Structures are given as C-alpha cells and as structure tokens.
C-alpha cells in the first residue's frame, strides 16, 4: 500500500468518460451531525429520539413571546472536541447569528447558527481510497439549531408539526472541495462518522437522521476552471451519497456536452428513481438576512478550557491505527479494519493484550467479524467475549489445541458459551503431544501401507496423505508439528 | 380618610407598616378609581381586580403576621409587554389575540415576590413601537394633562401621554396605580415620564432581566419603572432588578439599595452638559429648563462641565436601523402557527400573509419592512453594519466623557406633550421625539427622566440624567436634588374623574 499523500489531483481512474473526453468531478460536503448531548443547544429540553410528538418542547423551543436562548456549554464542548479531532483551529471567540426565514418547523422564524465567526476553523481529515491516503481539508465547523418536523400524514387537509427536534444542536462540518470521486466522498463521510463516534460527539446514526450530508457537485475538464456547482440536499446514507454524485455528475456532463450550461441550484436526490431533481434555483434562494443574535453574547472560550478538553480527548482512529501497526505488528489493512469502530478496536486490544497481536487480529477479523457479519450482530452483541476469545488463543499458543480444533471450540463458545479451557478439558479436545502415542499411530499406519511408503520416498509430497491418516487415527487431536516431524524421520524423507 | 390613591409609593408603604389602612383598602381604592377613570384615560387594557384583591388579602395576612416583604400590598400597573402567568398578554397587538402566557416575566415575578399587587395590564404602543401610545390595538391613551389656553383655562384637547409606555405614565400621573412597570428601547420610559410629570428610569442594559418581556429590539430593550417620585422609582428598581440565568445578556452585579443614596446630595459631583444637545431650533423654554437644572445642581455643590459627544447626531438614524432590524427578526415568530391570531389562507404563504397583515398595525409593519430591508443582501454593510459602527462610536464618546464627568444632564424631550393625531401622520416627526434619549440605549447606559418644570402651555417638561454603566445610584441622588428644587407636578382638575 502506498502511503503517498495525494491532494485533489485528477487521476485517470477518477475521471468520467463523456462524449467529448474525460471529465473530472469536484466534490465538497457539508455534513450535519447531531451533537450527542442530553439537552438542546439553547434550552433544557431533552434530545431523546422517538418520543411522542411535541413532548420535548420547552417554551424556548416553541418560541413563546419573551423567551430567550441560553447556550448549553456541553454542546460547545462537543463542538470543540470535534474540532480538535479534526486537527482544526479552535476560535476562542465565535458569534451566533440569526438565519431568518419563515417555515412552520422553525418557530422563531430564524435559525440560530454561526455565520461569519464559527467556533471551529480550518482542519483536515485523512482518508484511504484504493490503497492511497489523501487529505480532505475542513473549511469550518459551526454550531446551529435543528428545525422541527412537519407531519403530512396526520390529517386530510392540514399538516402537523412536531417540535421535538426543534432546537437540537447540530454541527455543520464543511469540507473544502477536495474530493474527486464518489468513492472519495464516501470514504470521507465514513471517516468523519468514525471520528465523531470515537469522540462521542455524535452517534453517527444515519437512519435516524443524526448524520446527513449536503453534497456539492460540479464537473470540469481535468485541470480546467471550476464548473458551476449544484448542491444535493440531505443525503442520508453513504450508499446514496455515492449514487447521488454519480447521477449528478453524469447529468451535468450530459447538459454541458449537449451545449447547455449548469444552473447553480439546490437539488434533491431520489434514490427510488435514481435521479436528482431541482428543489430551488439560485434566484429562488432565500435571502437569510443573517445578523448577530442580540439575545446572545459572543461565545468566548479560554485557552485553558480548550487545553483541558484536548488533554482528555480519546485516541483517534489514525493514531490508533499507527499504534496497532507499530505495537502489534499488524498489516496496515488489518489495522484499518480494526480501528474503523472504537468498540472493535477496544475488543481487539482486550484480546491482544499479552498475546500474539497478529494471531489475535486474525481471529478477531476472520473468525469473529466474519461470524458477526453473517449473523448481523454488532460487536457489542458478540456472544464470544474478548476474554473467551483470548482463552481460545491461549490454548493455541500453549499447543493445547490446534488451529483447527480452536475453530470448533470457537463454535461451541459462540453457541453454548463457557470457558474455552474447560470445554477443551471436559470434551477431550486437547491436542496429543505425547510423541509415544503419535509414534505408535505412525508405526501402525506405515506397517499397514507399505506401498504408500514406497511412493512417498519417491514423492515427498505424499507426506500429506500420511498426516491425514495420523490425524484421523488420533481424532484430530495430534499436534500437527509433532506428526510431521515423526513421519518425516520414520519415512526417511 | 384621605384619598389613598394620592399617596406616593413610599407613603403608602409607610401607611401600611403603621397599619393606617390595609392593603385591601388601598387596593380597593385603586380598583374603584380605575373603574371610574379608565374610560377617559384608557391606561388599562385589562384591569385585574380579582387578581389584585387576592394578592392584597395575602399581603394583609403578612402585614398582620409581621413578615411583610419590601413592596408588601403596594398596587402597581404592569405594562402589557410583560408576560403574566394565565393573564392575557398582547403587547397591545392584534396578532397576540387573547394570548395567555403560562409563565411570568422575571421582572414581574420579582415584584410579586416582593409583595406587590397587580392592578392590571397597561396600554402601550403596539410592540412598544411609538412615542405617543397611538399605535396600540386597544386605542390611544389620553394624558391626564391638558394645555392651558391664553385665557388661563385648560383646553379640553386631548394630549398624548408619550410612548411607548403611555399607559404606565398616564396611570401613574392620574393616580390609577402607585407606580408601574415600563420598558425603554429608545426612550419609551423617559419620554412618557417627561410628558406626564412622572419619574422614569431606564437602568443599564443587563440590570433587569428581559426574560418574559415581549421583545422589540433585544440589544436595546430594558425594563424600568415609572413612578411619582424619585424615591418611589428607587424602591421600584431595587425590586425589579436581578441577575437572571435565563437571560444571557443579564449582568451579574449586586443591586444596591438605591433608596439609601437619595440623601447623599451632589456636592463635588461633576456634571457634564453636552454641547451637541443644543440642537437647532430648540425652544427657549427647553433651553431655560436645562439652565434651571444646571443652576440647581450648581447650587447644591456640583461642578458643571461642558462636554462633547460628537457622534450624537448619528444616533437617531443609526437607532432607526438597528431597532427595526432586530424587530423584523424578533416579530417573525408571530406567524399564526402556534398561538395568537391566525387568518386561514389558501395555502401556507397566504396564511402567513393574511395573518400578519391583519395582526400587525401600520407602524409595526413599517418597521418590519425597514428592518427587513436593512438586513437584506447587498444592504447589510451599508446600513446595519454601519449603524453598529456608529453605535461603537457613541459608546466611545461616553467613555471619553466619563474621564471628565460623573453624570450627564440634558433635556429629556425636545418639546412638551403634543395633541393626539398631531404627529401620528408623520413618522419622522414622531421619531424625533427620541432624539435625546436614543443615545443612551445605543450605549447601554442608565438614563432617567425627572420632572423639572412646566411649559408655557402648563404641561410638564423633564430633565434627563445619563450615568456610567451600573451607576444608577448617582442618577438617583442627582435626580433627588432636582426634584427637591423643582417640586412635584400634578395634573390639575382631575377631569378624568368627572365622567
């Protein structure tokens, strides 16, 4: 795997072929991540999901007359932690602005957001695509309020509104237009989700809408000037992000190649039809009349407070991966697989501690993850604990069981539970390392198969047949290394 | 028994303490008077006699038990901008319809927790936008004051009580309450106080919580009292002010005992007289009033210093950008979706338009339009941003001044009370009412109006005192000197009591 860092360059593999030649896609993303917090950004209401409509609404969230916002410090801390995780500049002074527009899901008639002075400035995220590592620049991260939700299926003539989400804190994380393919965009969102989940600043649950992305797409001839971009709003799965980009890029190329031009507009992706549709043109775009919210003072943080958050920041996926490679001798690929989720990485470390790291990684990735994927379980719901898997690996390491038997033990632990050492003991699965017993079995097989013995002398690879016979005779419990050794000496090969 | 409604707040407090009368007797005296007079004055948009009697009964128990609170049993009026728990609150706008908040404003709660009695909700300009109380959805308020004709007799022409706290000023001036809550965004406490011979103080921005007060312009709005005397206003502000965690702009600063400083006098105090306030066309009588004030303070031992506040002339235009900008956003929540008026339309946009067109009066609509315009893309820098820069310069002017003086003395208004309808057709003439008061809001400073004399028409005029941030104490003791020298002014004839 190459570790060379590429930044945005047009690579042949990233271009799309059109009638007039190759095109390059330029992608920037705005990720909206719901801040993991108990209370909303400016009110004490709960942020719990799935409650009865309008049961988590305070007087502030409903914008009653005379109500005032008060900043929730924990939401600010979460935004700063995220900024630190993105290796970004933290702005010690930032300002909340009002973004003014009318809609029934927006009780105040404005969204409190950060416009000119966000809490987090420039940062970066490393992503791996096709074995290559590249950096995607972060433009900014700001805090803002989420809106409520309109319900159109409750009454024949009216729409209803649920304000439970109204006022919930969101982080809008804006990337630079550094991505050049749908794969890169998908890798970026996947990595962003991993970082947020590591930090505990967003649960990353895309199904609940807690992580969603607006995707800016434009196309150009490689090396040419930037094209006009379209923004695809609210794409809520990593798969759809890929599809939306492919579809939109193709649409734009077709228009340009047919002699048309791209209108800057906001579009929606319809996964069912596999197309993007115009939502509103630039002319129809709102004039949001941003201005600093006079109900809130500028948000001022101290360097000490930020430093304190920094010191308590968890190990991030990139650091963890580097450490796994260095400390456990893992391949870059295995390390990357293990650190994709913090729980997986923690599980691996619990297994690997004091054991052979490579062996532990093989078992966690091949046996455990394979089985979990097959059964559709998360690592938290694994029927085999890290202690149990560690126990199995200990039995292999001490030559008590072979790798093959270990898989049987894993199966027993998975379905029935129990202590691996005890299972091996009580079920008589312990490997035969007593050379006398193996020699006896070998002697018997040699005596019974003189023709095969002759063949083996001419063709040493026949050894495998003998090994199989010995294993059969010992019920698979013979130590394979010992069997090999004894066979070789007795057969004289 | 003497007419209890003629007492000042402090006299009534003393009378209750001495058990000369009960809180119930005092409250009933006001309830009776409101019943007789409110049709003429229209100060109350919602009298709440039952509520008042219940509070008075509780006060009588406490007075009897000897555990009276600071404002125990003292009947007040409450501007309709203050949300009152379970009691209709409209900001005198149709758009709030019969809205009953399930909460009490912090300032209101502070007063009721101090034992005060609420007589009802007071009229004001719609959403506090106006200087004459003529924009109220409940109709205009009539000042108890009347002009004196050339023959020496009082005219029957109706005068405005000032605004936006016109219900508060008129109620206090016509003895329909002991004192009243009010709010001031550009002069809405001080101008009506000046026009009705009452005392009004707008404290430092952040001194009183804005929580539960219907917002007009958040960076300028501040609550304060209108009262009969300087002492009464000191008692009121002490009870109203507090640091409130529910208002991010509320300031954590101890609230002093303002009453305790009233007798301190002004010996050695440096009083600033800003030359820029001698505006073109200032009437002779306003000039004389100002000179009288200077002479009284000098006589009491203060030193007078001419100062310069060079950006004063930009204050009014800048104010009429900042205030409408904030109001255009603050009033967006009145959309007919959750509470208040709703006029059904053919679709969502139509419902918004019909509701807001029917709900907001002309002046409110004008300011929403101005505010929306100055915040629009392409205009923001030229208007809103520039106005904010002016604001910074105005603050700096005062910061400079505080190096030389301790308090600033100016007239409160450029002219005495005007007649109903006289300026309501000319918004610019109306906006000029705020010319001496808006700078104080723009700089977030405390400002106070104290009655200082009568115009040639026999109507009240006020002097304004401007102080350093959170130095309301200096305003109170200076105002006391002016009040002692000028005397108090009561509207003659009590015509409003004669049906």
Residue A373 lies in a domain: no
Please tell me which residue of chain A has the smallest CA distance to B376.
Answer: A289
Residue A66 lies in a domain: yes
- Please report, for the domain that includes residue A480, its CATH number: 1.10.10.410
The residue range of the domain holding A456 is: 435-491
| B164 in active site | yes
Residue B378 lies in a domain: no
**Last-in-domain residue among A250, A277, A309:** A309
Residue B478 has a pLDDT of 98
B168 closest CA partner among B189, B186, B151 = B189
Residue B330 lies in a domain: no
| Residue among B89, B332, B334 with most chain A CBs within 10 A, to mutate | B332
Max CA distance (Å), chain A: 101
Residue B261 lies in a domain: yes
Task: Measure the CA–CA gap between B410 and B276, rounded to whole angstroms.
Answer: 10
Residue A4 has a pLDDT of 39
Please state the φ and ψ torsions of residue A128, each to the nearest 5 degrees: -115, 125
The number of CA neighbours under 13 Å toward the Cβ of A132 is 15
| B188 in active site | yes
Hey, which of A284-293, A398-407, B33-42 has the most confident mean pLDDT? B33-42
Residue A317 has a pLDDT of 96
Catalytically annotated residue among B188, B209, B242, B250 = B188
CA dihedral angle for residue B371, residue B372, residue B376, residue B381, rounded to 10 degrees: 0
Residue B150 lies in a domain: yes
**Last-in-domain residue among A281, A309, A337:** A309
Residue B253 lies in a domain: yes
- Please report, for the domain that includes residue B177, its CATH number: 3.90.1300.10
B411 closest CA partner among B365, B464, B457 = B464
Spell out which residues of chain B touch residue A59, defining contact as CB-CB under 8 Å: 102-103
Residue A331 lies in a domain: no
A151 interfaces chain B, CB cutoff of 8 Å: no
Q: Of A65, A102, A294, which has the smallest distance from its Cβ to B352's Cβ?
A: A102
* Cβ–Cβ below 8 Å for B332 and A109: yes
**Last-in-domain residue among A309, A333, A361:** A309
Q: Which of A252-266, A460-474, B211-225, B236-250 has the lowest mean pLDDT?
A: A460-474
Residue B381 has a pLDDT of 94
Q: Total structural domains in chain B?
A: 1
pLDDT, tens digit, 9 for 90 and up, residues A36-81 = 999 999 999 999 888 999 999 999 999 999 999 999 999 999 999 9
| A387: exposed, middle or buried (Cβ count in 10 Å: 0-12, 13-18, 19+) | exposed
Residue A364 has a pLDDT of 95
- The confidence band for A181, taking pLDDT boundaries of 50, 70 and 90, is very high
Residue A68 has a pLDDT of 98
- The confidence band for A12, taking pLDDT boundaries of 50, 70 and 90, is low
Task: Measure the CA–CA gap between B133 and B131, rounded to whole angstroms.
Answer: 6
Task: Measure the CA–CA gap between A83 and A77, rounded to whole angstroms.
Answer: 10
Residue B459 lies in a domain: no
Task: Tell whether the model's pLDDT for residue A394 goes beyond 70.
Answer: yes
CA distance A290 to chain B (A): 7
* Cβ–Cβ below 8 Å for A294 and B248: no
Task: Measure the CA–CA gap between A55 and A49, rounded to whole angstroms.
Answer: 11
Catalytically annotated residue among B79, B121, B228, B423 = B79
Residue A349 has a pLDDT of 96
Residue A403 lies in a domain: no
The residue range of the domain holding B72 is: 4-268
Percentage of chain A modeled with pLDDT above 70: 97
CA distance B209 to chain A (A): 10
DSSP state, B162? -
* Residue B373 CA to its chain's centroid (Å): 28
Mean pLDDT of A87-102: 98
The structure tokens listed for A259 are 């002699």
Whether the ω angle into residue A250 lies within 30 degrees of 0, i.e. cis, is: no
Q: Of B245, B333, B384, which has the smallest distance from its Cβ to A109's Cβ?
A: B333
For the whole prediction, is pTM greater than 0.80? yes
Residue B63 lies in a domain: yes
Query: Please, what is the Cα angle at B31 between B27 and B37, to 5 degrees?
Result: 140
CA distance A114 to chain B (A): 16
Q: Total structural domains in chain A?
A: 2
A289 interfaces chain B, CB cutoff of 8 Å: yes
**Chain B residues with CB within 8 Å of chain A CB:** 83, 89, 91, 96, 99, 101-103, 105, 210-215, 217-219, 245-249, 325-326, 328-329, 331-333, 335, 337-339, 348, 352, 372, 375-377, 380, 384
Using 50 as the pLDDT threshold, list the residues of chain B that sit under it.
Answer: none
Tell me what the pLDDT averaged over chain A comes to.
Answer: 92
């Amino acid at each position: 795997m190459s570790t060379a860092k590429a930044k945005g360059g047009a690579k042949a593999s990233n271009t799309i072929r059109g009638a007039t030649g190759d095109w390059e896609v330029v992608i920037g993303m705005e990720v909206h991540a719901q801040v993991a917090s108990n209370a909303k950004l400016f009110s004490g209401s709960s942020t719990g999901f799935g409650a009865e409509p309008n049961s988590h609404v305070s007087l502030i969230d409903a914008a009653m007359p005379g109500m005032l916002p008060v900043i929730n410090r924990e939401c600010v801390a979460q935004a700063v932690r995220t900024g630190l995780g993105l290796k970004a500049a933290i702005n010690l002074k930032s300002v909340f602005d009002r973004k003014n527009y009318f809609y029934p899901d927006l009780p105040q008639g404005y969204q409190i957001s950060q416009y000119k002075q966000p809490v987090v400035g420039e940062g970066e995220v490393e992503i791996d695509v096709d074995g290559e590592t590249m950096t995607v620049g972060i433009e900014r991260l700001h805090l803002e309020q989420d809106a409520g939700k309109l319900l159109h299926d409750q009454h024949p003539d009216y729409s209803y509104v649920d304000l439970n989400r109204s006022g919930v804190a969101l982080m809008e994380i804006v990337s630079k237009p550094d991505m050049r393919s749908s794969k890169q965009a998908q890798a970026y969102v996947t990595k962003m989700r991993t970082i947020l989940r590591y930090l505990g600043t967003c649960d990353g649950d895309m199904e609940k809408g807690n992580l969603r992305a607006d995707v800016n797409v434009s196309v150009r001839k490689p090396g040419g000037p930037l094209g006009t971009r379209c923004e695809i709003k609210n794409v809520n799965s990593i798969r759809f992000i890929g599809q939306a980009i492919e579809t939109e890029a193709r649409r734009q190329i077709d228009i340009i190649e047919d002699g048309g031009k791209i209108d800057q507009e906001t579009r929606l992706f319809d996964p069912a039809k596999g197309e993007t549709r115009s939502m509103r043109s630039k002319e129809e775009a709102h004039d949001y009349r941003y201005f600093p919210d006079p109900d809130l003072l500028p948000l001022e943080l101290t360097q000490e407070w930020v430093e304190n958050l920094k010191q308590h920041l968890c190990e991030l996926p990139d650091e963890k991966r580097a450490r796994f490679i260095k400390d456990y001798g893992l391949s870059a690929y295995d390390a990357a697989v293990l650190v994709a989720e913090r729980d997986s990485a923690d599980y691996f470390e619990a297994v690997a501690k004091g054991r052979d790291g490579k062996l532990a990684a093989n078992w966690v990735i091949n046996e455990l993850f394979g089985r979990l994927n097959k059964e559709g379980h998360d690592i938290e719901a694994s029927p085999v604990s890290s202690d149990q898997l560690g126990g199995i690996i200990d039995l292999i390491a001490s030559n008590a069981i072979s790798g093959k038997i270990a898989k049987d033990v894993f199966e027993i632990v998975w379905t029935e539970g129990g202590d691996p050492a005890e299972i091996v003991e009580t079920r008589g699965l312990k490997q035969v390392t007593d050379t006398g017993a193996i020699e006896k079995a070998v002697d018997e097989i040699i005596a019974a198969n003189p023709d095969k013995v002759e063949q083996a002398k001419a063709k040493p690879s026949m050894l495998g047949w003998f090994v199989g016979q010995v294993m059969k005779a010992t019920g698979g419990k013979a130590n394979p290394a010992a069997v090999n050794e004894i066979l070789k000496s007795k057969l004289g090969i | 028994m003497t007419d209890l409604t003629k007492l000042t707040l402090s006299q009534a407090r003393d009378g209750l303490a001495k058990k000369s009368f009960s809180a119930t007797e005092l409250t009933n005296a006001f309830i009776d008077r409101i019943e007789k007079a409110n049709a003429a004055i229209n100060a109350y948009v919602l009298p709440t006699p039952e509520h008042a009697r219940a509070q008075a009964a509780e006060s009588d128990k406490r007075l009897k038990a000897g555990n009276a609170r600071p404002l125990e049993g003292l009947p007040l009026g409450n501007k309709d901008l203050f949300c009152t728990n379970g009691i209709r609150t409209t900001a005198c706008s149709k758009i709030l319809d019969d809205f009953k908040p399930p909460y009490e404003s912090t300032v209101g709660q502070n007063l009721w927790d101090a034992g005060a009695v609420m007589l009802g909700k007071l009229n004001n300009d719609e959403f506090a936008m106006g200087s004459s109380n003529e924009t109220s959805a409940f109709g205009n308020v009539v000042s108890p004051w009347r002009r004196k004709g050339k023959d020496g007799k009082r005219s029957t022409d109706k005068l405005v009580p000032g605004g936006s706290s016109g219900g508060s000023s008129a109620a206090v001036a016509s003895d329909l309450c002991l004192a009243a809550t009010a709010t001031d965004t550009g002069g809405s406490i001080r101008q009506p106080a000046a026009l009705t011979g009452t005392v009004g103080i707008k404290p430092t921005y952040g001194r009183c919580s804005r929580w539960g007060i219907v917002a007009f312009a958040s960076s300028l709005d501040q609550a304060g009292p209108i009262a009969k005397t300087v002492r009464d206003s000191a008692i009121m502000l002490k009870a109203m002010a507090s640091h409130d965690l529910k208002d991010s702009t509320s300031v954590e600063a101890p609230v002093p005992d303002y009453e305790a400083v009233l007798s301190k006098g002004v010996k050695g105090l440096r009083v600033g007289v800003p030359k820029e306030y001698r505006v073109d066309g200032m009437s002779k009588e306003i000039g004389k009033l100002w000179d009288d004030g200077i002479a009284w303070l000098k006589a009491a031992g203060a030193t007078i210093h001419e100062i310069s506040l060079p950006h004063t002339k930009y204050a009014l235009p800048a104010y009429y950008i900042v205030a409408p900008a904030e109001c255009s956003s603050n009033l967006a929540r009145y959309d007919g979706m959750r509470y208040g008026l709703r006029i059904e339309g053919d679709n969502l946009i139509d419902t918004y338009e019909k509701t807001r067109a029917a709900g907001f009066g002309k002046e409110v609509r004008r300011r929403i339009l101005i505010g929306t315009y100055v915040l629009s893309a392409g205009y923001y820098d030229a208007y809103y941003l520039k106005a904010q820069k002016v604001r910074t310069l105005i603050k700096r002017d005062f910061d400079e001044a505080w190096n030389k003086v301790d308090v600033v003395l100016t007239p409160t208004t450029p002219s005495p009370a005007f007649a109903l309808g006289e300026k309501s057709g000319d918004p610019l003439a109306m906006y000029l009412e705020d010319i001496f008061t808006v700078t104080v809001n723009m700089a977030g400073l405390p400002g106070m109006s104290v009655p200082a004399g009568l115009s040639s028409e026999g109507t009240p005029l006020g002097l304004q005192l401007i102080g350093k941030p959170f130095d309301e104490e200096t305003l109170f003791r200076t105002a006391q000197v002016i009040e002692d020298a000028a005397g108090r002014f009561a509207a003659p004839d009590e015509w409003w009591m004669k049906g």
